[in-house]
A and B are shown apart, each in its own frame.
Chain A
Amino acid sequence: MEMGLGGARDGAMECAAMRPWRLVALLALAGCNTTTAQLTAVVTGGVAGASTGSPAVGFLVAVATDAGANYVVRYVGRTRQGAEQDAIAEVAGGLPVGTEAAWKIEHTIPIGNEHGQLRVVRDIDSPLAACKELAFSVDESKTRSWYTADVCKQAERWKWASAEPAVERWGFLQ
């Protein structure tokens, strides 16, 4: 996520007094997914350890909480990323080759909204499916970053179609 260190730190400080699940939800939306699960686990484990007087119990609770919180953070992140992919695919599906249009995603909770331009560069013609290759930008206040992807029509909707990388190439990214 693009959130800087300052943003992550501010978010954590605001949430320090909240219940752990609220901390997970808010930080997940704010995009601090690398620290959220562990932070929640440490908070929960610390409370458990203090209340039982046993550091070992605290550790066990922390490990279990870490796993659960990590799952929730990943689920929320994937759902939101999926919504953005759907938004881009929908715009691309209605565009002829060579034309350009704007795209945007506005989440129900307005954190992580993005927008940019989109251009269909090629129809991927085949007897199996209707697919398109596209280039899209993600526009920030001062920068515009370009990416490419493929979309295909599934039943009635256009969906993101770029498949996963080769197993050998995703080593440090999962």
Chain B
Amino acid sequence: MLTRLVLLSMSACALSGCNSVLTATTTDVAGIAGAGVASAVTKSPAAAAGIGLGIAAGANAGLQYVERNVHTVEQDRIAQAAGALDPGVVGHWDVSHKIRIEDNEHGDLVVTRLIGSSDFNCKEIVFSVDTMVKQAPNRAFYTATVCQDGTAWKWASAEPATARWSALQ
């Protein structure tokens, strides 16, 4: 029952890409179902509540783990495409996810600057995410930095200053 509810909410959300709702729903359903199961086997409301909270926290951690893996794939694909490009040359990137909690996306990218020295190589990039909005093509542009880690190119943009992050967490 619990698994079915969680999977149902995940698949419903995957179609619309509603990650925030997905997080809330998964935790919510798992917590309520967990507390429900616990209250069936224990007469202590406090014990049921404790079990429910524990399951909710576990479900949230599990979902975040999956979301991070899925999003890392997209960052890796863009970084990989950028690694092969010389500055000023427009390339293409795309990603297809095995788990559809994020949309399959694609766009163009260009290296705008080389950053580095003898012991590290980084590239500043501009990339587009091309979508269709109301049957019309829509193109959003973003900037990021990628750096070479060994043989692989990886996303390198660090997190925003915590003072600028508060509304987004």
Chain A positions near chain B (C-beta within 8 angstroms):
1-2, 31, 33, 54-56, 59-60, 63-64, 66-68, 70-71, 74-75, 77-78, 80-81, 124-129, 131, 145, 147, 150, 152-155, 159, 161-167, 169-170, 173-174
Contact = CB atoms under 8 A, between A and B. Distances in A.
Contacts of A131: 112, 126, 141, 143
Nearest to B56: A63
B24 A59 contact: no
Contact of B167 (A77, A147, A154): A77
Interface string B33-48: 0011001000001101
A69 to B, nearest CB: 9
A129 B167 contact: no
Contacts of A125: 112
* Most central of B75, B163, B168 by chain A CB within 10 Å: B168
Contacts of B35: 56, 59-60, 63
A127 B39 CA distance: 62
Interface string B128-169: 100000000011111110000000001111111111111111
Contact of A165 (B52, B53, B160): B160
B125 to A, nearest CB: 9
A166 B167 contact: no
A60 B32 contact: yes
8 nearest interchain CB pairs? A77-B167, A152-B141, A55-B45, A67-B28, A67-B24, A150-B143, A81-B167, A163-B144
A124 to B, nearest CB: 5
B168 A129 contact: no
A56 B39 contact: yes
A174 B110 CA distance: 28
A136 B139 CA distance: 26
A4 B25 CA distance: 31
A164 B168 CA distance: 11
A124 B143 contact: yes
Contacts of A80: 167
Contact of B88 (A2, A127, A163, A170): A127
Contacts of A169: 157-159
A48 to B, nearest CB: 13
